[in-house]
Amino acid sequence: MTELPIPVIVVGATGKMGREAIKTIARQPDLELIGAIARKRLGEDIGEVIGIEPLEIPITNDLEVLLAQGAQTERPAVMLDLSHPQGLSERIRSAIAYGVRPVVGTTGLTAQQIQELAAFADKASLGCAIVPNFSIGVLLMQQAAVAACQFYQNVEILELHHNQKADAPSGTALQTAQMLAELGQTFNAPQVTEKETAAGRGGRSPTATFAFTACGCRGWWPIKKCGLGPPAKPISCGTTPTIAPPTCPASSWRFGKFWTTKSWCTVWPRC
């Protein structure tokens, strides 16, 4: 018996990641696009808008209607959010309330919001995946940083993004800093009495995180280390907007083949 495809609603369908996700969904036999949410080009076919064949899915801004549709599908539906942090928590709650599984690539949620959403999802007995970065390269970079930073006392996270990114530092940078903080080490102990002469310079605890945005830039996260231990080599990872489909499970349910940004992960041979 042929397994039914997983119905997917994409929020942020006309954005950079949304377009690539929809192109991938259209190529996957085990996924089915049932809705495209965006603020612009309403009523137009999302396939034609992103430059592929018509998909017979009109762009809409009515998420409630699509969630209600997703609640009626034979196979549990997924809401893939790749949009904007504004209203993100409410969108996730709405999806869970309708029984639609949220897969969230949008960053900007606070730790408290994540805890509240986790409790809400647990109460509904529904899986919810909040993924600051789908990139396999970034995951490898984070694990390498955790392993290396056990031998260093000073750590800085620097990131580079395009000038249309809404949150800084990004969820990727914050998640990496949290992973390093969980090591229980003291990083960047002050050596002198400092005076900050301009706001937004960064921070010293647990790791200094600096976010830089500029026109034409893509995601880039080098982690610089110094202190005792082996010679410090920055660990870095960059991304391109290509999407590839690995298979990922989330919580107690399988949401099928989802996406990772094609990445490169390098260790620079210099300090």
Catalytic residue among 161, 224, 225, 257: 161
- How far is residue 41 CA from its own chain's centroid? 25
Strands (E), the chain: 6-11, 31-37, 59-60, 78-81, 101-104, 129-130, 154-161, 208-213, 220-226, 235-244, 247-250, 253-257, 260-267
Catalytic residue among 23, 165, 233, 262: 165
* Largest Cα span, the chain: 70
162 is catalytic: no
Residue 122, phi then psi, degrees to nearest 5: -60, -40
The CB density around residue 30, as the number of other CB atoms within 10 Å, is 15
Count of alpha carbons within 13 angstroms of residue 203, beta-carbon side: 9
161 is catalytic: yes
Rounded CA-CA distance 247/245 in Å is 7
* Tokens, residue 24: 């991938």
Residue 172 to residues 19, 99, 117, 132, 166, Cα–Cα distance (Å) = 21, 28, 19, 5, 13
Q: At what angle do helices 88-98 and 111-124 cross, to 10 degrees?
A: 10
Q: State the amino acid at position 9 in one-letter form.
A: I
Catalytic site positions: 161, 165
